Structure 1
Amino acid sequence: MINLLSNIKIAVPDKIFIKDPESSDLGKRIIEHGILLIDEIGFDNFTFKKLGNKIGSNESSIYRYFESKHKLLLYLTSWYWAWIEYQMVFATHNVPDHNDQLSKAIEVVTREIKEDVTYTHINEIVLNRIIINEYSKSYLTKEVDSENKEGYFVAYKRVVTRLSEIISNVNSDYEFPSSLASTVVEGALHQHFLKEHFRSITDCGSDVTPTEFFLNLTQKVLKTASDGTK
């Protein structure tokens, strides 16, 4: 996968940024250290001034790339979901059995993340923690509808749509493939959060992974739906 992805640029909607951070060393440092700083202090406490101090650059230089920290968060979340989408495509490509496709797709969107050395300025493990802890802050805003129209969430929606299509391939009679797909994608983040912070209210942990839970859930839902049509 590393060789396949090495020539692929993860596409982020260009309206999110003022200047593409991938176009310069400073931009890449903004992304690299922005991820580390948000993970360290949380998005609410994160500021461009603090980031500038970290990278030894003026706060104003960061504003040349992003007009606000909200746009930086949108960039990071968009990059993450586009990266997940590529992994899903490669994991399911040339897999003829629809059930196997579904299992591989669910594994991609629910598993514990490992670092991808293809992108040296992005630590995907740390970025995944940000997605688990902070992703909802990118869309729980008054501007969500207008930002959605601008295409800011297109990568996330493509992941859900791809999973929904695979679900429909497994059982074309199932009436709620998009709802099930979005439940798996969002629920995986929630279960990862619960197993780290509220262990008493989840069965996921050292013995049961979110992947195992959602594979079990999806298979039983689709089997029940299939049995009901007979």
Structure 2
Amino acid sequence: MKDLLSKFKIELPEGIYLKDPESSTLGKKIIENSIILIEEIGFEDFNFKKLGKYIGSNESSIYRYFESKHKILLYLTSWYWSWLEYQMVLETYSINNPKETLIQAIDVVTRTTKQDNKYTHINEVLLNQIVIDQNSKSYHTKDVDIENKDGLFLPFKRVVHRLSDIIVDCNSSYEYPLSLASTIIVGALKQHFIKTHFKSISNYDEYKKPTDFFTDLALKTLLLHG
């Protein structure tokens, strides 16, 4: 397992991009600065013309990598989910107790992200904020079923299935492990948004975090159905 983790490489569905941005300096620059610009001005105001000006490159050069800004958002969110899956594997593989494994896995998918210096062109803290704010826009589209059939959401679905498997290990009689897993993962994004923007309808403070809520929810749900 240690050898597997040391060789880990984030791989995304090829249908998201026209040319792999990881294959060139310009491609990495596009990804790095897309994160910065989207977080700064929002996805609605983001476009290739602004990105080209921001990185000092022709707009047409960006179109060689991505056919639309929607595909860039898909790339960024998919990268995040693939990276999060790696964090989950890394932080749970040596835990032998199912309950402790679940607690740690929930922590990984619900906590506030810290910078990972392994990927110098990716600011995971800013990317996490983009996922919190914009993730639903990557699939709330008319083409969601087509893109799902083409496998463009596989990184996200892998995270859900991995957490679901951990839930099953904790309580094999529970009937809704996938639903609980997806609720925790997607719900955490919503709760972080609410914590920041709608504090009056949350119970979070200096000491209570979304991680605490979802850990409590999962453990009590599984205990009730045990």
Q: TM-score, normalised by structure 1?
A: 0.95
CA contact (8 A) 1:99 1:170 kept: yes
Question: 2:43 is matched with which residue?
Answer: 43
CA contact (8 A) 2:5 2:90 kept: no
Paired residue for 1:112? 112
- Unmatched 5+ stretches in structure 2: none
CA offsets 1:70-127 (integer angstroms, 9 cap, x no match): 0000000100000000110111102111001101100000000000000000000000
Compute the RMSD of aligned alpha carbons: 1.2
Task: Quote the residue 1:142 is aligned against.
Answer: 142
Question: Partner residue of 1:209?
Answer: 209
What is aligned with 1:24?
24
**Corresponding residue of 1:121:** 121
Runs of 4+ with >3 A deviation:
3-7
Could you tell me whether the CA contact under 8 Å between 1:191 and 1:204 is conserved in 2? no
Q: Cα distance, 1:206 vs. partner?
A: 1.9
Structure 2 Cα separation of the partners of residues 7 and 173 of structure 1: 35
Sequence identity, in percent? 60
Question: How many equivalent pairs are there?
Answer: 224
Counterpart CA distance in 2 for 1:115 and 1:187 is: 22
Going from structure 1 to structure 2, the CA distance change for 1:93 and 1:137 (only over 3 Å counts) comes to same
| Aligned CA distance change for structure 1 residues 6 and 65 (closer, same or farther; 3 Å) | farther
Unaligned 5+ runs, structure 1:
none
CA contact (8 A) 1:5 1:118 kept: no
Residue in 1 aligned with 2:133? 133
* Matching residue of 1:225: 225
Q: What is the TM-score of this pair, normalised by structure 2?
A: 0.97
Question: Where does 1:78-227 land on structure 2 (aligned, <5 Å)?
Answer: 78-226=78-226
